[in-house]
Amino acid sequence: MAKMATTLRRSALQFIRKHTVAVNSVAVRHKSSKSEEKYLLTSVYKDVQVTNDLISDFVWQNLDRWPEKTATVCALTGRGYTYAQSHKMSLIFAAALRTKLKLKDGDKVAVILPNMPEYPSALLGVLQAGCIASMMNHAYTAYELQKQLQTVPCEVIITSKVSYPNIKEALNALKLNTPVIMLDNDSVPEGTIKFEELAGDLNTDIDVLKSVKRNADDVAVLPFSSGTTGLPKGVVLTHKCVVAENRMIADPEVVAIKETTATYQSVLPAILPFFHIFGFNALMLNQMHLGCKLVTMPYFKPDLFLQTIVSHKAHVLFIVPPMAIFLGKHPAVTPKHLESLHGLICGAAPLSESDIAAVIQKNKNINFRQGYGLTETNGGTSVGKRNDTNHSSVGHVFGSCQVKIADIKTQEALGPNQEGEIWVRGPLLMREYYNNEAATKEVMQDGWFKTGDVGKYDDKKYLYVTDRLKELIKVKGFQVPPAELETVVRTHPKVLDCAVLGIPDPISGEAPKAFIVLQPGQNVDPKEILNYVNSKVADFKNLKDVQVIEEIPKNPAGKILRKNLKEKYC
C-alpha cells in the first residue's frame, strides 16, 4: 500500500509537460484578408497557452494541493470520493484496461452512464490507458444506441444497470459480443464485468501505463453532436483542443468559482449530464482541475435539484434554460432555496432577459451569465466576464478565438450590429466529424466552423445569438426567429415555458404557432396569449395560433426538439 501510494503521489506531481507554445493559434494557422479582418469579432480576454498536456495532466495538475478534499459525492446516496481516491481509482482502472482487457493505444471505449461519483475516474481512466472515450446518452433507446455504436465502433462499453437492457439489445442487433463493464456494485447482469473488480484491485501494476504512447494531437474523446438537424455525428476532439478549451474557461476573468484552499471549497451540483459537452468540459473537467466538490445527480427532478442546492449549500450552478426558467418562475422555488448561490452560468440555448431577471429577483447576489458554444467548439465559445450585467448577450469570445458574422448570402464578414451566420475559429475547434468527410466539408471552411446559428455583435464586443438558420420561419419572405417570439410569450405571467414553430399557411407560406406550458394551477384562453404577443410584435411576426400542451420536448442540453414537437402536434 505504501509503495502504491508513493507511486501514485509521484505520478500526480509529474503532470505538466514542459513544451508549452505561447501562440495565438488563430492568427498563425489561418489568415483573413485585410478587408475582412477589421470586421472580425476578437476576444477581450488574454490569449491562452496552447500546451502539449493530455487531458488527465490538466485535470490532476493540482492534485497535491487538495488530495483530501471531496471530488465527487452522490446526491442520492452520499457515496463519494476524495481527489486522492478518485485519482488512484482512475490509474488502477487504466492499468486494468491495458492488462486485463488488453486494450491498446487508440482503442475506443463507449461511456454510457448517468452522472455518478465514479464517472470522472472511469472516463479519465480510459484516457490514461491511451484509449479514446466516446460519451453516449444513457437514456437512449436500443435503436439510438445501435446507431451510435455503428457510427463509433467500440472495443469496450462502460455502463450501469439503467442502460444495460438497451445496450444488450443494441449489441444483439449488431451481432457483437463487446465486453461490458458495470459501475453498479451489486446484482450485475451475468457476463458483465464489475468496475469495482478492475478499479479496486490494489495489486494491479500501474507501471504498465508507462507503455502508453499518446500525445496532445491524438484523438481523446468522441462525443456526439445534438442531432437536431440530422443524424447524430461523432465529433473528433483531440487532447490539445479539449485542454485549450478548459484553459479558456479557467481564465481569471471567466472562472465562476473561488479558489479552493485549506478552509474553502466551492460546491457545484453536477446536474448537466457529463456525456454532454457542456457538462463534460465546463462542469466535470474544469471544476476538478480547480478542486471543486461535484455533487452528482443522475437525473433532474425538481425536488431533488432544490434539495441538493440547499443541503450542500451550492455556490455555483451550470444549467440550461429550462432549469433557469424553473428556478425563476416556478412558485415552489423561494429565495431561501437560492441563498447560498453566488454564480450561475446558463448555456446550450438562448435565455431572455426577463427569465434571467426572475432568477436574480430571488437572489440579487447571483452573478448570472449566459454562455454560447456547440459540441464542435468543445462546448464553449463565449461567456460574459465575472460580474457582467449584460444579460441579453452570450458574453465575449474566448481568448485566442475569433468570430465572423457571415452574410447569409455572400458569406462576407459583417460589421457590428448586423445579423448573419456565426462562424468560429480557434484552438478549441473539433478536428472533424468521425468518418464523415461530407458532413465535415459542410461546416468547415478555411479554418472556420460554420455554426448554423444566427447572431450579431455590438461595439463593445458582446456577442448575441438570435436564432438557428434552419429554424427561421419564413412569412411572406420575411424571416421570423422563433426565439424572439418565445421570449415575448414567456413574459406572460401565466406561461411557464413555450416553443414556437412555423406551420403551413396558404397566404403567407408559413405562420408562427406557439405551444405553451402553463404555470401550475393556471388556465388561459388562447386568444389572451395571441392578443398579448401580437400587440408587441410587427404584423408579419404575429402568432396565428396558440396551443396548450403539458411539456416542451427538449434534448439533455435544453434545446427545443422542434422536429419532435412538429411530428406530435402539427
User: Average pLDDT of each block of 10 consecutive residues along the chain (570 residues)?
Assistant: 41 36 36 77 95 96 97 97 98 98 98 98 98 94 91 97 96 97 92 96 94 97 72 92 97 92 96 95 97 96 96 96 91 96 90 92 96 94 93 96 96 96 97 95 95 95 89 80 89 95 88 96 95 89 95 87 87
Kindly state whether residues 421 and 554 are assigned to the same domain. no
Predicted local distance difference test score (pLDDT) of residue 51 = 92
Query: Is the whole-model pTM more than 0.95?
Result: no
Q: State residue 422's pLDDT score.
A: 97
Q: What pLDDT, in 10s, does the model give residues 83-110?
A: 999 999 999 999 999 999 999 999 999 9
According to DSSP, the residues that pair with 112 across neighbouring strands are: 159
Q: Are residues 309 and 446 in the same domain?
A: yes
Name the nearest CA neighbour of 423 among 402, 439, 393, 442.
402
pLDDT for 230 equals 58
Residue 528 confidence (pLDDT): 96
Q: Cell 457538462: give the residue.
A: 279
Location of C-alpha cell 493540482: 62
How many Cβ atoms from other residues are within 10 Å of residue 441's Cβ? 11
Q: Residue 463: inside a domain, yes or no?
A: no
For 330, the grid coordinates are 416556478
pLDDT at 483: 86
Distances (CA, A) of 339 to 132, 175, 296, 484: 41, 53, 20, 31
Q: What is the pLDDT of residue 17?
A: 35
User: Does residue 436 sit in the same domain as residue 493?
Assistant: no
Residue 415: predicted pLDDT = 97
Host domain of residue 418: 2-457
User: Do residue 419 and residue 498 come from a single domain?
Assistant: no
- In a domain? residue 350: yes
- Assess whether 519 and 551 both reside in one domain: yes
- Tell me what pLDDT residue 174 has: 97
How many domains, in total, are found in the chain? 2
Same domain, residue pair 512 and 423: no
Total Cβ atoms within 10 A of residue 475: 22
Residue of 536, 184, 557, 520 whose CA lies nearest to 347: 557
What would the pLDDT profile of 256-269 be if each residue is shown by its tens digit?
Answer: 998 899 999 999 99
Residues 495 and 450 grouped into a single domain: no
Write down the pLDDT at residue 33.
65
477 shares a domain with 388 = no
Specify whether 453 is located in the same domain as 476. Answer: no
Residues 276 and 556: their CA atoms lie apart, in Å, by: 8
Helices in 77-141 by DSSP H: which ranges?
Answer: 83-99, 119-128
- Please report whether residue 366 resides in a domain: yes
In a domain, 465, yes or no: no
518's CB contacts (< 8 A; 6+ apart) are 494, 495, 496, 524, 548
Q: Please, what is the Cα angle at 466 between 464 and 472, to 5 degrees?
A: 160
128, part of any domain: yes
Residues 332, 425 within the same domain: yes
Residue 138 lies in a domain: yes
Owner of C-alpha cell 438558420: 469
* 40 secondary structure, DSSP code: S
Assigned domain for 297 exists: yes
Same domain, 511 and 386: no
Residue entry with cell 464485468? 193
* Residue 259 shares a structural domain with residue 361: yes
CATH number at residue 556: 3.30.300.30
- Are 195 and 157 contacting, i.e. CB atoms less than 8 angstroms apart? no
CATH number at residue 365: 3.40.50.12780
